[in-house]
């Protein structure tokens, strides 16, 4: 039977899963990650959950196509139908940082010290970092990966306390030594500069206040860029 080839971002997440882990892949879609992990004997068990029937049906087809029949498929909203003792590793990828935060907010047991979170936000990573720092989690590892022309941040979080600076919220909590760190920071700065220009053009007191707030973030990111360059001897 042919091997299942993971995309770069899923391959990175797979490499972070501890051998023998009990994995829950939330928003699994095609279930490529849990199927690959079981196919290669990397985990003790795997739950693949999704909010909608269509993605879960695709997930079942992936399992059948690769001869992996012992995936536990769940139709549920986030972690609502997954008990804390059924998983020690929770993977949430393929959605925005605000959606990931919303899922975790409804499952406070993920911050009980017995669970590892592997998170890969497609957008609004800063919102997710802020949520984690304010709700009893700390980011212990973070890495960047190119996938289909997009630069994705991946985070490993556990229970704990952490205070992040404005620069870390937007530029990464643990990316100072990541080879793609400067590129990530610059991309954030370009987006913010465009937003500031748009607000300036629109005019008005309220827009000026918003632009000032964005300039504060830009200043923090400039400092983060200098930190990255110093850390990498540039």
- The mean per-residue pLDDT over the stretch 95-100 comes to 97
State the pLDDT at residue 116. Answer: 98
State the pLDDT at residue 84. Answer: 97
C-alpha R_g of the chain = 19
State the pLDDT at residue 1. Answer: 55
| Residue position matching structure tokens 């892949």 | 25
- The mean per-residue pLDDT over the stretch 157-182 comes to 97
Instruction: Note the pLDDT tens digit of each residue in 12-26.
Output: 999 999 999 999 999
| Cβ atoms of 99 and 79 closer than 8 Å | no
d(CA 133, CA 211): 25
Phi, then psi, of 160 in degrees rounded to 5: 160, 180
Residue 164 has pLDDT above 90, yes or no: yes
Whole-model pTM: value is 0.96
Inter-CA distances, 163 with 59, 104, 114, 119, 131, Å = 38, 19, 21, 19, 11
- Write down the H helix ranges in the chain: 8-16, 32-39, 53-65, 97-105, 125-134, 166-171, 181-202, 205-231
State the pLDDT at residue 129. Answer: 98
- The mean per-residue pLDDT over the stretch 212-231 comes to 97
- The mean per-residue pLDDT over the stretch 5-15 comes to 97
Tell me what percent of the residues of the chain surpass a pLDDT of 70.
Answer: 99
Reference 59, options 75, 83, 81; nearest CA is 75
| Residue position matching structure tokens 């007191």 | 205
Two tokens, residue 18: 């501890």
Inter-CA distances, 233 with 188, 225, 227, Å = 22, 12, 10
Give the pLDDT band (50/70/90) at residue 3. Answer: confident
């Amino acid at each position: 039977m042919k091997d299942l080839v993971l995309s770069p971002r899923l391959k990175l997440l797979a490499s972070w899963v501890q051998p023998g882990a009990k994995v829950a892949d939330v928003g699994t879609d095609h279930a490529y990650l849990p199927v690959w992990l079981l196919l290669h004997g990397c985990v003790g068990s795997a739950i693949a959950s999704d909010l909608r029937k269509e993605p879960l049906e695709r997930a079942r087809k992936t399992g059948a196509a690769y001869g992996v029949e012992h995936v536990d498929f769940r139709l549920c909203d986030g972690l609502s139908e997954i008990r804390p003792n059924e998983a020690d590793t929770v993977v949430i990828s393929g959605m925005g940082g605000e959606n990931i935060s919303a899922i975790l907010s409804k499952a406070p047991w993920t911050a009980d010290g017995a669970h590892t979170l592997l998170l890969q936000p497609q957008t609004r990573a800063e919102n997710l970092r802020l949520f984690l720092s304010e709700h009893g989690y700390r980011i212990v590892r973070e890495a960047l990966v190119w996938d289909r022309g997009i630069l994705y941040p991946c985070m490993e979080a556990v229970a704990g306390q952490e205070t992040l600076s404005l620069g870390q919220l937007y530029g990464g909590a643990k990316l100072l030594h990541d080879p793609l760190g400067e590129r990530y920071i610059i991309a954030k700065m370009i987006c913010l500069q465009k937003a500031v220009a748009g607000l300036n053009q629109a005019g008005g007191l309220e827009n000026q206040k918003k632009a000032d707030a964005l300039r504060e973030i830009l200043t923090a990111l400039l400092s983060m860029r200098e930190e990255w360059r110093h850390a990498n001897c540039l």
